[in-house]
Chains A and B, each alone.
Chain A
Amino acid sequence: MDYLYLLATLLFVFGIKNLTSVKTCLRGNKLSQLGMLVAIATTLVVMTDISWPLVAGGVLLGAAIGAVIAKRTPTTSMPEMVAALNGLGGVASAFVAMADLLQSDVMKKDGVSLWQTGAIHALSTPIAILIGMLTLTGSFVAYFKLSGRKLAHPVKGSARHALHALLGIGLIACASWQILATDGAELTISTVAVALIASILGVFLVLPIGGADMPVVVSLLNSYSGIAGAASGFVIQNPLLIVVGALVGTSGLILTQIMCKAMNRSLGNVLLGGMGEESVAKDAKDYKSTKSATPEEVAMLLEGASSVVMVPGYGLAVAQAQHTLRELGELLQKRGATVRYAIHPVAGRMPGHMNVLLAESDVPYDQLWEMERINSDFKNTDVVIVVGANDVVNPAAREATGPIAGMPILDVDQARTVVVIKRSLAPGYAGIKNPLFELPNTLMVFLDAKEALEGMVKEVKELGR
């Protein structure tokens, strides 16, 4: 049995490794699926006092729900789906620790405390419950924020930090009580208290973080659910859980770090910045002079352009317009123009979101340009088409202060003409005004991305005749 667990672990290790390269990523995911299968099958075979109704019912129900969710989720909502799934993984770890506690002698006999079972085992029980519950509620706040709901923290200013600190102290106190409690009633109350306070803290910690920073939060919570898994592994003394949980925990931290770097911010800045708070959403009234254009006018502009850069954003995904965008790109290319797609590292709701979307609609890989590579080229570009992106092209990021100050952006304002396809002048995720829309070389197309692009495709075809 131990050797089969080792096999499963190795499959996970090579699976993760293969997932980091485009060539091998499919195989990587298959390897890790095989690892999971080996792990589950081995566990079922070695268990002696197994309760089959519980196991069969749970596995089938969970698998069915998971399959339905995965099938029904549109490409646009994948990021929030990952957040929700992650929360469920976290709470599962917390429940494992609680169930084990209920089954242990510590609960059943008076006069025995968790501490007497050894320090590591004693500490891992509250840690698994704490991190698991925090992951659950934090992930679901992230889920709601990613689905576009505006949620605000009820407490403002420095009182908020005091409240969080108070909850943190309460959590440590209850966890200590849980470890030292010697009778069942005390143990039950302290365990429930730890779970409850951690759940509240999870909500409060994620609430003040701005929507644009959610990818980083989801990645961090993904790492947490790994740590919760490892902690529950210590609780039930299972090496597979410990090793795989640790792997996910630390590799998730590295991925979080990579994402923060892409946004030119530190993790502490993201978590404590409270970006969503200071920035009051502005609306159309704040814009003095914007020029709007119809798809027909844009088509005429494209007619004379020899280099075109597309800048996709979340709006493209929402409108499901990626195929139309590709069609427009192909058309222009046939007419002799250079067409490229500029990918901001955090465009969309998650890093790599746009790559997935454009790859799905068969945009050639060599036309996708990363921000660093294309930024110096915008001054030689005739037309930039910004489709449903806002914050990633907001020149306000170049200023010293403000909610998105310091974030690297695509320098689209340097192009000869910027066409912005956007339904309205509503603010982007960061909730701030975008001075780009007022520039003399910017044309606004106030339409749904798909509608606008379809119009352009039609007009370009007509002009070509």
Chain B
Amino acid sequence: MLSLVETLGTATDPMALEASNVFLTFFVFVIASLLGFELINKVPPTLHTPLMSGSNAISGITVVGALLCAKAGEGTFSQVLAFLAIVFAMVNVVGGYMVTDRMLASFKKKAK
């Protein structure tokens, strides 16, 4: 394992990101994907729409990426892209969570 990481780390171009890191993130990606498969095996039909809406809001996590791209001193075009990405992702996050809350509020009322 260590030797693999070492070879990858030294064999590639100095430009390349640290290969061991790339491998680790890929590793984590695979495990997270499997976790997603297992996470929601049973869902009552009542919750299909709220679940879709809620996880749609979570996919707005890309706002973190957008924020990281909004650096000072970069080119105008990349700043425009970063700004638009922040706006779109925030609409997704805030809109998604509020719509989901509205759907779920109807269940809470019933539980009383």
Contact = CB atoms under 8 A, between A and B. Distances in A.
Interface of B: 12-13, 15-17, 19, 21-22, 25-26, 28-29, 32-37, 39-75, 77-79, 81-110
Contact of B87 (A51, A62, A353, A370): A62
A98 interface: yes
B104 A26 contact: yes
B35 to A, nearest CB: 6
Contacts of B64: 39-40, 43, 238, 240-241
Interface string A84-106: 01101101110110111011010
Interface string A368-383: 1010000000000000
A67 B99 CA distance: 9
Interface of A: 12-13, 15-17, 19-22, 25-26, 28-29, 32-33, 35-36, 39-40, 43-44, 47, 49-51, 54-55, 57-59, 61-63, 65-67, 69-71, 73, 75, 78-79, 81-82, 85-86, 88-89, 91-93, 95-96, 98-100, 102-103, 105, 112, 116-118, 120-121, 218-219, 222, 225-226, 228-230, 232-255, 258-259, 262, 343, 345, 350-353, 355-356, 359-360, 362, 364-365, 368, 370
Interface of B, secondary structure class, is: helix
Given A26-B107, A36-B61, A218-B52, A63 B90 contact: yes
Nearest to A360: B106
For the residues of A in contact with B, the DSSP-based class is helix
Contacts of A79: 49
Contacts of A25: 47, 50, 104, 107
A410 B13 CA distance: 63
A151 to B, nearest CB: 22
Nearest to B19: A118
A255 B26 contact: no
Shortest 8 CB-CB distances between A and B: which pairs? A62-B90, A58-B86, A66-B94, A250-B36, A70-B98, A66-B95, A102-B78, A351-B48
B61 A241 contact: yes
A350 B52 contact: yes
B32 to A, nearest CB: 4
Contacts of A238: 64-65, 68
A36 B60 contact: yes
15 contacts: A32-B97, A40-B64, A51-B72, A75-B102, A82-B56, A88-B91, A99-B85, A102-B74, A102-B75, A121-B17, A225-B59, A230-B29, A244-B32, A251-B36, A255-B51
